[in-house]
Amino acid sequence: MSNTEIIPKKSPYIMGIDLGTSNSAIAVFLKGQAEIIPIESSKTFPSVFAMRNGEKVVGRQARARQMIDPDNTVSSIKREIGGSWTKEFNDKPGEVYTPTDISAEILLQLVLKAEQEHTVEWGGTPKYAVICIPANFNDTQKTATIEAGKLASLEVLYLLEEPVAAAMAYAMEKERDQTILVYDLGGGTFDVSILQVDSSKGETPEFKILAKEGVPKLGGDDFDYKIMEIAAEKFKNDSGVDILDLKKDQGIKTKWIREAQQKLQEAAETAKCELSESQTATIFIPNLIKDESGNVHNLEMDIARREFNDAISGLIEQSKEAVDKALASAKLGIEDISRIILVGGSTRVPLVKEMLTKMFDKEPYSDTDPDTAVARGAAIFAASLNVPGTEPEERLEKDKIEPIILTNIVTHFLGIETAGGKFNCLIDKGKDIPADAPLTYSKEYTTPRDNITELAIRVYQSDRTVEYLRKEEGVECIGEFFLTGIPSKARGEERINVTFEINQQNLLKVSATSSGSAQDLEIKRS
């Protein structure tokens, strides 16, 4: 007998996963509705990773390590995904972790724990997933998310934008046809999307994205930091120690200052959440730090909601600007929005609601369960997808729904670099991507110099229309490749054809041809 490997049967169910900056959640569509799968009897799972004595720890246990052993703990890794961040843990030398690796560990544990949850009859090992991503994720961040899924042995069938998922949960569970604005403020990112829901054509509604904007690094973590600044200022006046200053030599071990920062961050977050309910919060941290002369200092102070509101008003204003931008690009006025949906933990901050109520002259809707709306929406969408290679009858009829038609738009201006460092746009931001086929654009260029046989094609994305590719904010090189084998001719004599193809998930494929050669680009991870 040859060695036959026993391959475990795959579950026909597709999981909906919210892989959040702070918290993750997992849901599956069962008996006509999306159900959150509790992990360790909680609806959400902290997206935190730690190394303890060379062993990997994820979730709640990892979050508990944050205070005790911050050097070996990583949180908010989603802020780094697709980037150059790496970490070697003191507790496990010789192994270098990328954000993708850490995200994979979180996914792996999340799914393993969900599989152990006995209320769901998986009918095999859960493998298929729809994973949610912020609407403003670029190609690199998306590719890294898919890669994390692969490392966790998952088959990622779709990357669904978080606000779209939230809108799907709302439209399918509450109220259908309307124009929805989703305001999603989490721990690390802010997204706003405007969607139109229309069920006039079939049983399941069509979802059309009209606009999306965001601020990539804006979230509850920044609110925490504002409180930390206020507290650190007071602490400095009382004790002479500046907890937020790691550069200046204060005669105190850096490690202690870091630990104090960690404690302060936790206390700031707790105070922030308290301020969502009451007008004042008390921060008390005994033995926060020992100064140069060995005196131990406590931190004790009150913070008022008004003071907090003042500190974060600039951040809230940034989110408002993105909302304005989204309305403008959807060519809609405030009165055209029938429903504002709040998603993400940070929308519990009262100033958020106040700002939106004033702006739209109506109360925004908070999901009955804002922490799980994204995962629920993902599970609903997942139920409308087909599982590759599985017999349809394996998934019970009531655990499926008719295909949901989703029309997306292009998230960035996309183009290539041409002579003189110019940006030549092939696809405009905001263009509709049809539901059934990728959007394709081709452009013809000519060779910029005499007798060249190869040409670098650099692909750029931008938030705005720009003429030059200076290192401006919002302009980014997302890939590069060489078209070789170009027949040697005089400048301008040879035609180079460049084609951009973008799919529903805003994933881009680029190809270039000359009369003598052809080349495709897979957008590479940087």
List residues binding ligand ADP (CB under 6 A): 20-23, 186-188, 219-221, 269, 272-273, 276, 344-346, 348-349, 371
Q: How many CA atoms lie within 13 A of 446 on its CB side?
A: 8
Residue 237, H or E segment:
helix 220-239
Q: Which option in Mg ion, ligand ADP, none does residue 214 bind, with CB closer than 5 to 8 A by kind?
A: none
Neighbours of 305 (CB within 10 A): 18
Q: Which is nearer to ligand ADP, 162 or 463 (by Cβ)?
A: 162
Q: Which option in ligand ADP, Mg ion, none does residue 188 bind, with CB closer than 5 to 8 A by kind?
A: ligand ADP
Minimum Å gap between C-beta 407 and ligand ADP is 25
Q: Which option in Mg ion, ligand ADP, none does residue 273 bind, with CB closer than 5 to 8 A by kind?
A: ligand ADP
Residue nearest to ligand ADP (CB): 220
Q: Which is nearer to ligand ADP, 23 or 505 (by Cβ)?
A: 23
Q: Residue 66: what are its φ and ψ, rounded to 5°? A: -55, -40
Q: Which is nearer to Mg ion, 341 or 457 (by Cβ)?
A: 341
Which amino acid, 107? Answer: L
Token code pair at residue 174: 């509450």
Sign of CA dihedral 164, 277, 334, 367: positive
SS3 call for 195: strand
Q: Which option in ligand ADP, Mg ion, none does residue 349 bind, with CB closer than 5 to 8 A by kind?
A: ligand ADP
CB distance 235 to 39 below 8 Å: no
Minimum Å gap between C-beta 162 and Mg ion is 6
Q: How many CA atoms lie within 13 A of 216 on its CB side?
A: 11
Q: Which is nearer to ligand ADP, 127 or 272 (by Cβ)?
A: 272
> Closest Cα to residue 126, out of 280, 13, 45, 251?
13
Residue 225: C-alpha distances to residues 76, 126, 262, 321, 497 (Å):
14, 38, 11, 21, 49
> Closest Cα to residue 130, out of 366, 436, 385, 468?
385
Minimum Å gap between C-beta 349 and ligand ADP is 5
Q: Which is nearer to ligand ADP, 70 or 186 (by Cβ)?
A: 186
Q: Which option in Mg ion, ligand ADP, none does residue 221 bind, with CB closer than 5 to 8 A by kind?
A: ligand ADP
CB distance 1 to 85 below 8 Å: no
Q: Residue 449: what are its φ and ψ, rounded to 5°? A: -140, 165
Q: Which is nearer to ligand ADP, 339 or 348 (by Cβ)?
A: 348
List, in sequence order, every beta strand (DSSP E) within 84-154: 87-88, 96-97, 128-133
CA 141/CA 147 separation, integer angstroms: 10
Q: Which is nearer to ligand ADP, 149 or 220 (by Cβ)?
A: 220
Minimum Å gap between C-beta 305 and ligand ADP is 11
Residue 34, H or E segment:
strand 33-36
Minimum Å gap between C-beta 65 and ligand ADP is 18
Minimum Å gap between C-beta 167 and Mg ion is 14
Minimum Å gap between C-beta 218 and ligand ADP is 11
Q: Which 3-state string (H, E, C) describes 366-420?
A: ECCCCCCHHHHHHHHHHHCCCCCCCCHHHCCHHHCCCCCEEEEECCCEEEEEECC
Q: Which is nearer to ligand ADP, 188 or 479 (by Cβ)?
A: 188
CA 457/CA 510 separation, integer angstroms: 9
Which amino acid, 265? Answer: Q
Minimum Å gap between C-beta 424 and ligand ADP is 36
Q: Which is nearer to Mg ion, 20 or 415 (by Cβ)?
A: 20
Minimum Å gap between C-beta 281 and ligand ADP is 11
CA 345/CA 223 separation, integer angstroms: 12
**Helix intervals (H) in 240-304:** 254-275
Q: Which is nearer to Mg ion, 46 or 344 (by Cβ)?
A: 344
CA 352/CA 367 separation, integer angstroms: 15
Minimum Å gap between C-beta 345 and ligand ADP is 2
Token code pair at residue 122: 């998986």
Q: Which is nearer to ligand ADP, 12 or 187 (by Cβ)?
A: 187
Minimum Å gap between C-beta 371 and Mg ion is 8
Q: Which option in Mg ion, ligand ADP, none does residue 435 bind, with CB closer than 5 to 8 A by kind?
A: none
Minimum Å gap between C-beta 188 and Mg ion is 9
CB distance 441 to 427 below 8 Å: yes
Q: Which is nearer to Mg ion, 241 or 373 (by Cβ)?
A: 373
The residues binding Mg ion (CB under 5 A) are 20, 186, 344
CA 301/CA 284 separation, integer angstroms: 7
